[in-house]
Structure 1
């Protein structure tokens, strides 16, 4: 999907629209850092634009870059809100980084508005609607109250699924006046599956960002906390602020073993498979060329 073209478009947007030199330098450094992870949201946008017979122009890469700009701003804000930005380029001088984030947010919609697409206004409306949905989900996540599977899935669909849906639906809107309902359905599941993958990866790594150490709730942790296992009483006590973090740190090996022994890992893997299958079923219902279906399925893993 030509990630190098998306990166060039990001550079062009900053160079053209940002005139303050220090701000421009900071934003370009953020883009360089983000580009190491790739641009999956921009790629999904372009894929959907082409899938619904949009004519390839340079402007579609500009819109893809604008959406990636929004995602970058959300990533930065998410790191600050989670106090998880120490290893990021925006960790130095947080006041300047937050101001740069504001620039990214406004520039994103402004760039799309200036394109020649017939449905540019509709695309901006989608961007704003689904970005706000994601913010709702993020706020729910920050409240850290999702202690059941149902609540956690709903929150994650809002927080992560809405951003994937945003990218897919903006690309679709620029190509056609009618988006199949399946697009929003599988997009939400793709976001959810991605977060479940993060949940599984997190419990294998003990460090400052570890969810359990930070008393956060993820699918495997929710399962673990609800297990009737006497040896896990101290973990439940930790979440109730009745024991210190040192107790958890001295029992890392036991906790890691319990994630496997209690079935927490298996449960989470099954949940991932359930939503992968739901996403695949929605993709298969699309009335589009099988080539595009195959490309979409690569994002469901």
Structure 2
């Protein structure tokens, strides 16, 4: 079933690209970017989340596929914007070209996502087309504001945990919320059920961000979160929990790059690793991860759909941090 869906998704994407009069260079860049996502082991992850949400409320039908493709292209565009802003994931195609080209690639993908679901206006009533358009627009507005707020917070020396979670709900939660709302809407769900699945998606997105933050915090070779003063959950937790000498040492550590000192070498890395152990960073992240998992599970319990259809949602949130 997955292979058949992947084939249908790929066919729709190719049809959109071939009908868009794009330059050969842009076509190649889009295809290589999509292939890079597939090589990560989760082909068309965002399209499948959208379809999963549709499956939860009804049988999958062809109407969901344009929306699923729109979500896939939008999420890829959002990833590109995020990597440009964070200046990491240097191995990906969009990080190996000039920033101006990468920005144009992301803009092109975001517009192609609208072209993907524009087919709905031919095959369905205008109401459904309008609802899908609104959901996608809301996602882009919210996620863009989240990206903007992230830049502002990264320049702040003091950030509260509440500020962190509000940011993550906007930046990461808006994408997953969008996927679930799109799928539910295209599956014919009631307005209330669409909202509930949107909240489920938001909590699922926050869970994913907590997992990524923890995994990337000490991944000095692949990610630049710490040296770029990214206000990830471990970083913000340490900012708020440390007192006295420990707080001063951490502050010095965060200013190494800014002050142009020797650099963030092995000694500094080892100190940070020990700090993570001593201050219970992993435990705190796991507690917060579990809190959002419980919120997601509460929604699964209350939504008015057959128990059999809830199984895939449960499986999504079963993964531990």
TM-score (norm 2): 0.86
Q: Indicate the residue corresponding to 1:162 in structure 2.
A: 174
Residue number in structure 2 paired with 1:82: 86
- The answer to whether the aligner puts 1:271 opposite 2:288 as a matched pair is yes
Distance (Å, rounded) in 2 between the aligned partners of 1:142 and 1:255: 23
| Pair 1:150-2:162 in alignment | yes
The Cα offsets for residues 40-60 of structure 1, whole Å up to 9 and x where unpaired, read as 221121122222225512x42
Task: Rate the CA distance shift 1:240–1:29 in 2: closer, same or farther, 3 A.
Answer: closer
Counterparts of 2:93 and 2:146 in 1: how far apart (Å)?
Answer: 25
- Give the conservation status (yes or no) of the 8 Å contact 2:51–2:60: no
Q: What corresponds to 1:184 in structure 2?
A: 198
Per-residue CA shift, 1:124-175, capped at 9, x if unaligned?
1111012211111111112124711111001000111011111111111122
Q: Quick one: distance in 1 between partners of 2:283 and 2:226?
A: 18
3-state DSSP of counterpart to 1:195: helix
Residue 7 of structure 1, CA deviation: 3.1
CA distance in 1, matches of 2:164, 2:261: 24
Q: Deviations over 1:92-124 (max 9, x none)?
A: 243333222222111111221222133122111
Residue number among 241, 254, 257 corresponding to 1:239 in the alignment: 254
User: CA–CA distance in 2 between the matches of 1:229 and 1:263?
Assistant: 17
User: In structure 2, what is the equivalent of residue 117 of structure 1?
Assistant: 124
- Cα pair 2:9 2:65 within 8 Å, conserved: yes
Distance 1:264 1:210, change over 3 A: same
Give yes or no for contact 1:182–1:285 (8 Å, CA) kept in 2. no
Which residue among 202, 219, 226 is the counterpart of 1:205?
219
Q: Distance in 2 between matches of 1:215 and 1:188?
A: 25
2:109 to 73, 82, 104: 104
CA 1:187 to 1:25, structure 2 compared with 1: closer, same or farther past 3 Å?
A: same
Counterparts of 1:18 and 1:85, CA distance in 2 = 30
The answer for the alignment partner of 1:283 in structure 2 is 300
TM-score (norm. length: structure 1): 0.91
Distance 1:140 1:245, change over 3 A: farther
Alignment of 1:51 with 2:56, yes or no, is yes
Shift of 1:215: 1.4
| Aligned residues: CA RMSD | 2.2
Q: Which residue of 2 aligns with 1:254?
A: 271
1:219 Cα deviation from its structure 2 partner:
1.5
Contact 2:164–2:236 under 8 Å retained in 1: no
- The number of equivalent residue pairs is 300
Distance 2:278 2:6 in 1: 42
Report the CA distance shift for 1:152/1:246 in structure 2 as closer, same or farther (over 3 A). Answer: same
